[in-house]
Amino acid sequence: MALTSKLVDIHTHIYLPRYTALLRSRSSVPRILTTTSPLTGAPEDRLLILDHEPSGGRPVGPQYWARDEKLRFMNTHGIDVSLVSSANPWLDFLPPSEAQTLASQLNDDLEEYCAGSPTLADSPTLKRLYGFGLLPLVPGIPVPALLETVQQISKLPHLKGIIMGTRGIGSGLDDESLDPVWDALSQAGLVVFLHPHYGVEATAWGPKDNGHVLPLALGFPFETTIATTRLILSGVFDRFPTLRLLLAHSGGALPQLSSRLASCIDHDPIVASRLKHDARFYLGQLYFDAVAYGPEEIGFVSDVIARANSFSASTKGSGFISADRRLGSKRMLFGTDHPFFPPLNSTEKWRSVVENLQAIDAVSGWGQEEKDSVRGNNALALFGLI
């Protein structure tokens, strides 16, 4: 069947025009600043997402907001379907009422963006574009406002999930007052795409100028790792076992630290007593994008997913069981991180995309079926597109 060869990108971002207008109007980060190019004298847009952004921010253009550019990028790289999400920092910096209004408007905008996209030539029931909506997750927002937005999104036919950062409504995602939100998201069958924005305190990077390398390469995955670990420790996955959480950047460092995490929990009886399972079990309940840039990394993530069931409460203590790496492929999904990591030189295909595709193809122990799953079949199933 034709569907077995689809390429689906589940990690691809946009700043919707309504949002870029807001970024242009702002005088502090996040903002888009129009300056004059020192090289050409022409006006140049620069995006400043974080405080102390190196190099005066990153140059931005229509690839950050125009649907045609998204489709062009998809065509160049053979991507059939994209699940588009707003890029960080979402609505984090807004007061509650403004965040709520804008979330609702941006969700409608994204629905229109997706609904108006072409259908696939060989699968006319499929659009090229689907989306992750936004919740107004800001300090001070009343939980009912969040639930209302969940309801809004669940009724928008092209929105299949939500993207969120790690701060919740101010105290992180392990805040128990978010339980009704996890419940509503589970009930609505919306996938939660967890994505970093803040990294860790910039003092960790030291005084040397290494551009964006340290916050992006390390800070981003650390943030995802911390947020997911705090979710595990808070028992969210015990209370909401049908919640579908998708982790950006292959879960950051969580896979590699998961056995250490389990050991640290084992040595703390109070924390251990709160959880139904060994920490490693919960990694098998999660979904991971395959944005890890190397076949060994992707294969390893697949290993930790595959082994997870051997760490359920019922099997715990039976020792290390060698798991079939192929099983883990069912919870990993191709992504590009477009429009970030653009190529430095004019080139047909983006290196960041090509590398992730090559990495999937080179995973040792995966056959054609596993690779096709990760490239697209898992996404079609997870988001209910088949």
* Residue 139 binds a copy of itself, judged by CB under 8 A: no
Indicate whether 59 belongs to the interface with a copy of itself (CB under 8 A). no
Choices 15-23, 128-136, 155-163, 205-213; region in contact with a copy of itself by CB under 8 A: 205-213
Rule CB under 8 A: is residue 327 a binding residue for a copy of itself? no
Min dist CB 175 to a copy of itself, Å, is: 8
Select 18 or 351, whichever has its Cβ closest to a copy of itself: 351
Q: Which of residues 245-274 bind a copy of itself (CB under 8 A)?
A: 249-250, 252-253, 255-271
Binding span for a copy of itself by CB under 8 A among 42-50, 108-116, 185-193, 301-309: 301-309
320 lies in the binding site for a copy of itself (CB under 8 A): yes
Q: Work out whether 349 is an interface residue with a copy of itself (CB under 8 A).
A: no
Binding residues with a copy of itself: total (CB under 8 A): 74
For a copy of itself, which residue of 210, 242, 314, 347 counts as binding (CB under 8 A)?
Answer: 210
Q: What b/e sequence results for 198-228 when a residue is b if at least 16 CB atoms lie within 10 Å of its CB, and e otherwise? A: bbbeeeebeeeeeebebbbebbbbbbbbbbb
Say whether residue 217 binds a copy of itself (CB under 8 A): yes
Please tell me the distance from the alpha carbon of residue 73 to that of residue 52, in angstroms, as a whole number.
Answer: 30
Other CB atoms closer than 10 Å to residue 254's CB: what's the count?
26
d(Cα 289, Cα 378) in Å, to the nearest integer? 11
Cβ atoms < 10 Å from Cβ of 96: 16
Q: Which residue's CB is nearer to a copy of itself, number 101 or number 263?
A: 263
Binding of residue 122 to a copy of itself (CB under 8 A): no
Give the SS3 label for residue 162. strand
Beta bridge partners of 193: 163, 246
At its nearest, how many Å lie between a copy of itself and the CB of residue 196?
12
Does 57 sit near a copy of itself (CB under 8 A)? Answer: no
CA distance 186 to 99: 23
- Closest alpha carbon to 334 in 101, 161, 77, 115: 77
Q: Residue 151 CB, nearest distance to a copy of itself (Å)?
A: 28
Query: d(Cα 22, Cα 99) in Å, to the nearest integer?
Result: 12
What single-letter amino acid sits at 155? K
Q: Supply the minimum distance, in Å, between the C-beta of residue 219 and a copy of itself.
A: 9
SS3 assignment, position 165: coil
